[in-house]
Amino acid sequence: MTVLHLADEGEAADLAAFLSRLLHYDRSAAVRMQAAGTALAVFGRPPSFEVLAVRAVRLAKPYENGLDVTLDLTVSAGELLESVDEAAATAVVPGAVTGPPWAGVLPPRGGWVPVAGLPAVDALRSLVAASVAEFRSRTEALAPESRTRAELDRIGREIWSRTVGETGLPVRAVHAAQALGFLRGADPVLLSSGAWLRLRTAYGSIALRRAGAGALGLSVR
């Protein structure tokens, strides 16, 4: 049994909250865990948003039971959540599962450079709220016979694939950050590396590959 010792109760609570939000969108969600030293990264993919969500967790010490260099495996998000002990600030690493396809293609570790033009956090939250309101009003205005899944999906794709200014970041990435509890506190930063964009906040990151970018920046590991 491998026990992770988290830095404090707050880190444990934040990890549990992140896992709970992922499970809200996918009850069978899997997460990929990568750790070295006292840093742990937990990757998930909420299906509604088509992005990767990344939660960084501080560890008080690396591992027990012989794992003292690195940790890299895909596990059940539900089993990991059940193992989190917030009072003790620990989590037991579950057994590995066969990972979904996205777990083999992660954002690059380095090469990130800032992208200009991202609005402040309050403006981003307002953008998400306005987009949700637009989706609701447009779908409610549909005649009953036109309110099909295909039409709802079409409206959703139109709204959520819009970009934030000239940044190239789709609004769905900002919506994902809001839904997962990342879009709070200080203003986020937008970064790029090859084909990838990353919306980084103090509470986690949202990463996605830019449309039409080919295979640039692909990190398979």
Which residue from 86, 64, 120, 123 is spatially nearest to 12, judged by alpha carbons?
Answer: 86
Q: Give residue 69's pLDDT.
A: 62
Number of structural domains (the chain) is 2
Whether residues 92 and 117 fall in one domain: no
- What is d(CA 78, CA 177) in angstroms, rounded to the nearest whole number? 21
- For 61, residues 6+ apart whose C-beta sits below 8 A from its C-beta are 5, 38
Residue % of the chain over a pLDDT of 90: 81
CA gap 197, 221 in Å, rounded: 19
Are residue 90 and residue 117 in the same domain, yes or no? no
Classified as helix, coil or strand, 78 is helix
Residue 106 lies inside a defined structural domain of this protein = no
pLDDT at residue 221 greater than cutoff 70: no
Q: Which domain, by its residues, includes 17?
A: 3-98
In this structure, what CATH number is given to the domain that contains residue 26? 3.10.150.10
2 pLDDT tier (thresholds 50, 70, 90): confident
* Residue 66: predicted pLDDT: 52
Answer whether residue 41 is part of any domain: yes
In a domain, 107, yes or no: no
Residue 141 lies in a domain: yes
Of residues 100, 54, 95, the one with CA closest to residue 204:
54
Same domain, 125 and 185: yes
104 found inside a domain: no
Q: Please state, in angstroms and rounded to a whole number, the distance separating the CA atoms of residues 189 and 201.
A: 7
Q: What is the pLDDT of residue 121?
A: 96
Domain identity same for 87 and 118 = no
CA dihedral 194, 198, 202, 204 (to 10 degrees): -110
